[in-house]
Structure 1
Amino acid sequence: MAAVSLTAVPARADGPRPAVLVLPGGGYGHQADHEAEPVAEWLASLGIHAYVLRYRVAPHRHPAPLEDAKMAMLQIRSESSGPAVDPTRVGVLGFSAGGHLAATLSTAVATGNAALDVQAAVPDLTVLCYPVVSCTEDVHQGSVDNLLGASPSDDLLREVSADLHVTAATPPAFVWHTADDAAVPVHHSLAYTGSLIRAGVPAELHVFPHGRHGLGLATGDPGPDQWTSLCAAWLTRRGWTQSSPSVM
């Protein structure tokens, strides 16, 4: 099994820049390459430093992947030898099971490690791409089995269901999904976005009528191929691209 790694893809931009942690999907059993470095290169083209995390997967169980993600966030914010990062603008972007990891990171789900369960490990914004969110409704069983093992308790299933832990302090999110995703039902994105809106957290959701699961950048897939431009516009409105003022 490959070791945990954090790979930087710097933006070509002067001065401290925003950064985004990229979490590829793979059902907590592997990691999809097309949801990793190509996505980081796209973020870098927007003037955002990107970091691809190869986190632990099965046979490792929760909280191992979440520990890896929290450690990565802390490292990015404190990086002194890599790209110049604005520590007040560090986000996360995740696909599928990587979206679940991004959502649990964003909702400050605990690992039991006091050194990691700190505010500095919570991102400033979140991008979720056809994410797994709930482990109690419309479950993606493969992700649950790989992350939690056989017969997890109801309490543990609720603990890692990010939609149940959204608060007013949860970061703003951009979320997209396809309505006919046969692997991870669109309910997951609807549930997380609904929780954000009820908590008064800014959220933008796009549901495209058609598209298979695991599209990544979705180049050449009519409809979902708009997500990158829509997300870039959202990042621009939040002041995360090179030429835009910050959103108040």
Structure 2
Amino acid sequence: MKKCFFFISYFLLVSLHAQEIIPLYPGTAPGSENWTWEEKTVGANTGNAFVYNVTKPTMTYYRAPENIRTGAVMLVAPGGAFHILSTENEGTKVAEFLNTLGIDAFVLKYRLSRIHGQDPMQELFGLMSDFKKLDANNTPTVELATQDGIRALSMIHEISASKGFDTSKIGMMGFSAGATLTMSVLLSAEQKLKPAIIAPFYLYKPAVIGSIFPEKLTPMFIAVASDDGLKFVPHSIDLYNEWISKAQPTELHIYENGNHGFGMQPKGTASDQWPSDFKSWLKQRKWLE
């Protein structure tokens, strides 16, 4: 009897702390019905894991500790040129950081362009040698990924009452391609589903789709490193100028160093400051109350 009680208690404890993986669609995702290739993960639990060949989009729920929960929610979109997803450095670790602030988080696993070979990084680096060609290849995928992001926001709204979410505090943040996706979702979603705040990190702007500008003030936190190896700094500056020209509240951080893809991984560079700056920004927006 005692052994039975122990295993039941252990199961409940594990379940309490387990993350909830939520499929975005009840069956096959619309628009990719013929995608039959297998999703794969590389480097699991190394701090720099990534997945590729995603055909079944999901979002993973990370709930903040009950004693500090604010009711605010953030949808997090990892990056990877719409071919891979940096699920730990730009996903899980970001969600865990948000949880320490009392913010619930969902890490979005959105559909990706197919990797055909056995070495995903080598294939991706080859594609990135020509961004115009990469953009042309990615265009259909960006549209599907944007559908996934909008679907995720819709589902978050749907479960808000049962989860205790404040629907006025549902935001979205993303890194690199995830920042492209964040902006595409913002500019494509209907007004009632648009994120209340957004945070694009080292944005790639040319691939952004959508033209439905938010009717409400939508505060934006932009971050990039001056030594970004992909030369994305002008994209963040252009976005900043565009946003302030529309009288939207905007904050831009260009860190001296940190390169591209700094995410949550401490590097001993100026970019390590972004979590502190982001926390201060959220506090000013009254998201930590």
- TM-score normalised to the size of structure 1? 0.78
Q: CA deviation at 1:132?
A: 1.1
Name whichever of 94-103 and 9-18 sits farther off: 9-18
- Counterpart for residue 71 of structure 1: 151
Q: Structure 1's 16 and 91: CA in aligned 2 closer, same or farther, altered over 3 A?
A: same
In the TM superposition, what are the counterparts of 1:21-32 in structure 2 within 5 Å?
21-32=75-86
1:178 matched residue in structure 2 = 225
Query: Segments of 4+ in structure 1 off by > 6 A?
Result: none
Question: Using the alignment, how far apart are the partners of 1:161 and 1:170 within structure 2?
Answer: 20
2:169 alignment partner in structure 1: 89
Asked if 2 retains the 8 angstrom alpha-carbon contact of 1:179 and 1:208, the reply is yes
1:102 aligns with 2:182: yes
Q: Relative to structure 1, is the Cα distance of residues 80 and 48 closer, same or farther in structure 2, using a 3 angstrom cutoff?
A: closer
Deviation of the 1:26 alpha carbon = 0.4
**1:39/1:82 Cα in 2 relative to 1: closer, same or farther (>3 Å)?**
farther
Q: How do 1:2-151 residues align onto structure 2 when only pairs under 5 Å count? A: 2=54, 3-13=56-66, 17-33=71-87, 34-59=89-114, 61-79=141-159, 83-106=163-186, 108-109=187-188, 117-135=189-207
Pick the structure with more helix per residue: 2
Q: 1:199 aligns with which of 239, 246, 249?
A: 246
Shift of 1:119: 1.7
How far off is 1:16 after superposition? Answer: 6.2
1:153-175 deviations in whole A, cap 9, x for unaligned?
A: xxxxxxx357x775664621001
Partner of residue 230, structure 1: 277
Letter in 2 for 1:25: G
Residue-pair matches, total: 209
Once the two structures are TM-superposed, the CA of residue 63 in structure 1 deviates from its matched residue by: 1.2
Sequence identity percentage: 29
Cα gap change, 1:20/1:102 in structure 2, threshold over 3 Å: closer, same or farther?
Answer: same
CA contact (8 A) 2:111 2:145 kept: yes
The one-character-per-residue Cα deviations of 1:31-90 (angstroms, maximum 9, x if unpaired) are: 002111110000011000000010001046231000000000011111158631111110
Q: CA deviation at 1:91?
A: 0.2
Larger radius of gyration: 2
TM-score (norm 2): 0.67
Q: Aligned pair in 2 of structure 1 residues 31, 199: CA closer, same or farther (>3 Å)?
A: same
Inter-CA distance 211–62: structure 2 relative to 1 (3 Å threshold)? closer
Q: CA RMSD in A?
A: 2.1
Q: Is the 8 A contact 2:218 2:248 kept in 1?
A: yes
Q: Distance in 2 between matches of 1:134 and 1:103?
A: 11
CA deviation map 1:170-211 (0-9, x unaligned): 621001101121214201100111111000000000101222
Gaps of 5+ in 1: 110-116, 136-159, 243-248
AA of the residue aligned to 2:97:
W
Instruction: Pick 1 or 2: higher relative contact order, CA cutoff 8 A, min separation 6.
Output: 1
